[in-house]
A = this chain, B = another copy of it.
Amino acid sequence: MTDNQFRDAAAGETSPLERRRRSGGRGAERSRKPAATKYLKLVNTLAKSTVLSEDALEAIHDASLTILEEIGMDIILPEARDRMKAAGADVTPGTDRVRFDRGLIMEMIASAPSGFTMHARNPARNVEIGGNNLVFAQIASAPFVADREGGRRTGNQEDFRKLVKLAQSYDIVHTTGGYPVEPVDLHASIRHLDCLSDMVKLTDKVFHAYSLGRQRNTDGIEIARIGRGISMEQMQREPSLFTIINTSSPLRLDGPMLQGIIEMSSRNQVVVVTPFTLAGAMAPVTIAGALVQQNAEALCGIAFTQMVRKGAPVMYGGFTSNVDMKTGAPAFGTPEYMKAVIAGGQLARKYNIPYRTSNTNAANTLDAQAAYESALSLWALTQGGGNFVMHAAGWTEGGLTASFEKFILDVDMLQMVAEFLQPLDVSEDALGLDAVRDVGPGGHYFGTMHTLQRYETAFYSPILSDWRNFETWTEAGRPTTYDHANRVFKQKLNEYERPPLDPAIEEELDAFVARRKEEGGVPTDF
């Protein structure tokens, strides 16, 4: 026995022999089961991590209210200023500036619900927002799209549809998040009609309407209503559509966003108020300062939803990260991002409002960076109590590009997060004392009944991880995660099937879209 073999035998940890039991047969060939329905509803019972003491949380809260009282926000829509003034805000005549007494803000915040259901046309796809619920939404709003063969290209309808089909294909992607890529080959005047019609037909999940003027909001609401086959009264009882409201940081809310709040909140649809506060660019260079500004802007937007309609469903969005101060490039999935995400969760829970976060990275390709920045994002938002995760699958290059391969990588990572959150089985059977008695010292568990009864479902079977041994992997051409993801997204698109849709609903939808197109959609200046 050589010294090395001796140590191998003695030390399980260091034993290549043990690990050489790896054999081939995995990867391309392995069978894939349909996505487990356990991914339809995710509950995160982890105790929430914190990065702010109670005092620090209070200091950020207090500073943000001071901003709203002393400095105020520019509210760039007369109707919104009028509503705010009616609610008791201090509007400076002849300007956009509105200041808010902290008592007014807190009174409005108090009426926002702590949780609600978003209704899909397929009730199995309804999502619960708030509490310990965790909901993942696909990437939204990328101007570019990429896959390995096609490279990086401007968004278009064909890729839009493929990405929407992929969102439908995995239960872990609970909702779409907007247009996964902007289909610029569709004229802006009718783009929302085609895209939202596709959302209804190609998926049976909840979807999003952009707040780009009153008409697009009301068209979106009507399409969601038709898709569900319900009355407007029922639609108003059952929130079924959401919109992202970004502030124009620092301290501004633009007209279309304010209009979006008015249209959506007044009809009891979901508003996600998300300041985009990059520390050092649109917000102070410190994470604490950026959080103060995030909180001021978020509270202002949320308060406005409640001025429009008490009890309207709304989420507290956090999107604070840092920039690379050498170049001004935005950075994501950084240690600073992690802290901001966790602190944002503390703020949202303080106000008892569901918390929206994002799965981010700034990588240009599907390399290790894409994975570690996303994994660090998922770490923070899971431990920090995120309820609704935008850009959960497909986001790359700081949101500039929707990547087909990254979509699959993200789905795999999201499923791993979901598996991590499944309770550990500690039943007597799982503790396995009898199995240990059977095997005893020096045996192995490969062929025991305890193992045979469980081995097929005992562990998560990843989509992409290549666990073949080095030799087999080399014979297979040394595929990377990128290669596997490329193969899987194409396979998944081939397997895609439209979810059932009542022909009467489809007819009504087509008629609505046709009529609105005849009317010219939404007027544009080009």
Contacts of A284 in B (CB 8 A): 432, 435-436, 445, 450-451
Q: With A431-B59, A445-B281 as given contacts, are A13 and B373 in contact (CB-CB < 8 Å)?
A: no
Whole-angstrom distance between the Cβ of A524 and the nearest chain B Cβ: 5
B280 and A455 contacting across the interface, CB-CB below 8 Å: yes
Whether a CB of chain B sits under 8 angstroms from the CB of A50 is yes
Copies in the complex: 2
A254: chain B residues at CB < 8 Å are: 9-10
- In the complex, the answer to whether B257 meets A10 with C-beta atoms within 8 Å is yes
8 Å CB interface, A138-189 against B: 140-141, 143, 152, 178, 182, 184, 188-189
Judge whether A430 and B362 touch: CB under 8 Å.
no
Whether B7 lies near A49 (C-beta < 8 A) is: no
Complex CA–CA separation, A15 to B247 (angstroms): 12
Considering only residues 425-473 of chain A, those with a C-beta below 8 Å from chain B are: 425-427, 430-433, 435-437, 439-446, 450-451, 454-456, 458-462, 464-470, 473
Instruction: Known A246-B13, A246-B14, A326-B26; judge A436-B47 contact (CB<8 A).
Output: no
Min C-beta distance of A304 to chain B, whole Å: 15
* Residues in B whose Cβ lies below 8 Å from that of A234: none
Chain B residue nearest to A416 (CB atoms) is B335
* Contact present for A420 and B335 (CB under 8 Å): yes
Q: Which of B372, B375, B400, B470 contacts A152 (CB 8 A)?
A: B470
- Within the assembled complex, what's the spacing in Å between the Cα atoms of A507 and B340? 53
Residue of B nearest to A427 (CB): B288
Complex Cα gap A107–B376 (Å): 41
Name which of A17-25, A111-119, A487-495, A510-518 contacts chain B: A17-25
> Cβ of A210: which chain B residues have Cβ within 8 Å of it?
7
In the complex, what residues of B have CB within 8 A of residue A231's CB?
none
Instruction: Determine whether A16 belongs to the interface, using a CB cutoff of 8 Å to chain B.
Output: yes
What are 6 of the A-B contact pairs (CB < 8 Å)? A11-B141, A26-B326, A56-B424, A250-B445, A329-B469, A372-B374
Other A-B contacts than A70-B437, A281-B446, A285-B432, 12 sampled, CB-CB below 8 A, are A4-B188, A10-B257, A11-B246, A14-B141, A22-B327, A96-B441, A152-B470, A288-B432, A367-B368, A371-B371, A371-B372, A379-B383
